[in-house]
Amino acid sequence: MLVGGGDWDYRAFRWFAERAGHGHIVVLRASGEGEAGEEIFNQVGGVASVQTLVFRSRVAASDARVLDILARADGIFIAGGDQANYVRFWKDTPVARALDAHVRKGRPIGGTSAGLAILGGTAYGAMDGGSIDSQEALADPAGPAVTLVTGFLHMPRLAHVVTDTHFARRDRLGRLFAFVAKARQKDPKAVGLGVDEGAALCVEADGTAQLLSPPGGHGWLVQPTTRPTLQPGQPLDWAGVRVTGIGPDSVLDLDRLAVTAPAFEGIARVERGVLRDAPGPR
């Protein structure tokens, strides 16, 4: 379940609870306390129990008790916060391997905001302590501020996907273009997938996904049609990138990277770091 951040659509979390067999949910976070778990149990409902694990350092990622809790989880949900902490605390640890194993067993995993940002095969780690905006990212996509992380988590249908969150509200289409352009230096198949605040893409076992969202929310599939031109210290140039909107009547096929009944679609371009002709909801 890919949640774009902000307020939750409880329909999506009830879908998640059903896919978890209405069983035991484990919420992971690296800041805050147990409020997300309390909301799932008390407001969403439909689950047997919810347990929250808050990581304060990398040490707990090797704790046998933590690994046992993850092994017994029917569903795992990664809360928001600072994705850099997730990378620092979990990458190349038993927790990361436990999350991969959970998915291999066919059990659901979800994330919101920072928790979604780390689910893609290439993730924006925000490792410099900031959160780059579209203008900055397009001005130097090959530069050090675009801190992409690979080899962290291994979600099979997201292996070539860069995810982004809080999408339309924070005007992040441009920065997702920059992320995908840089990701393609190592992964020629890289595409982008953005999710609006309040929206959730609910991915079934067969790789198809539908959007649950308040009115106006969308998913955004970003697929290059040409090769980007980028050099360190230089703005992005890109002649063609297809942008497809995923609405409540759409179906996203993650295996084929195709959208049935798209909410909108078109070809955008970037000239000297300026995004042009970007499609969007009307």
Its domain, for residue 214, covers: 2-276
Torsions phi, psi of 194, nearest 5?
A: -105, 150
- Given this model, what pLDDT does residue 76 score? 99
Residue 235 lies in a domain: yes
At 168, which CATH number? 3.40.50.880
- What value, to the nearest 5°, has the Cα angle with vertex 231 and ends 229 and 235? 75
Q: Are 265 and 279 contacting, i.e. CB atoms less than 8 angstroms apart?
A: yes
Is the full-model pTM beyond 0.95? yes
Does 207 map to a domain? Answer: yes
Are 220 and 193 within 8 A, CB to CB?
yes
For the annotated catalytic residues, the residue numbers are 113, 166, 197
Phi, psi for residue 149 in degrees, rounded to 5 = -120, 135
pLDDT at 183: 98
What sign for the dihedral angle of Cα 265, 179, 209, 249?
negative
Query: Cα–Cα distance between 234 and 102 in angstroms, integer?
Result: 41
pLDDT at position 41 is: 95
- Has residue 281 been placed in a domain? no
Helix (H) or strand (E) holding 242: strand 238-246
Domain assignment present for residue 170? The answer is yes
Tens digits of pLDDT across the chain (282 residues): 999 999 999 999 999 999 999 999 999 999 988 889 999 999 999 999 999 999 999 999 999 999 999 999 999 999 999 999 999 999 999 999 999 999 999 999 999 999 999 999 999 999 998 899 999 999 999 999 999 999 999 999 999 999 999 999 999 999 999 999 999 999 999 999 999 999 999 999 999 999 999 999 999 999 999 999 999 999 999 999 999 999 999 999 999 999 999 999 999 999 999 999 999 998
Cα torsion 95, 96, 101, 106: sign: positive
Cβ count near 74 (within 10 Å) = 19
In a domain, 100, yes or no: yes
**Tokens at 40, concatenated:** 């799932």
Residue 251 Rama label (left phi>0; alpha psi -120 to 50; beta): beta
**Structure tokens given for 279:** 């499609």
Residue 97's pLDDT is 99
Q: Which residues contact 188 (CB under 8 A, 6 or more apart)?
A: none
Q: How far is CA 119 from CA 21, 49, 53, 237, in A?
A: 22, 24, 18, 27
- Structural domain contains residue 282: no
> Within a domain: residue 244?
yes
d(CA 146, CA 96): 23
- Hey, what are 122's tokens? 């290439």
CA neighbours within 13 Å on the CB side: how many for 236? 34
Count the alpha carbons within 13 Å of 10 in the hemisphere toward its beta carbon.
9
The total number of structural domains in the chain stands at: 1
DSSP tally for the chain: helices H, then strands E: 8, 17
Length of the chain: 282
Task: Specify the pLDDT at position 9.
Answer: 94
Q: Is residue 72 a part of any domain in this protein?
A: yes
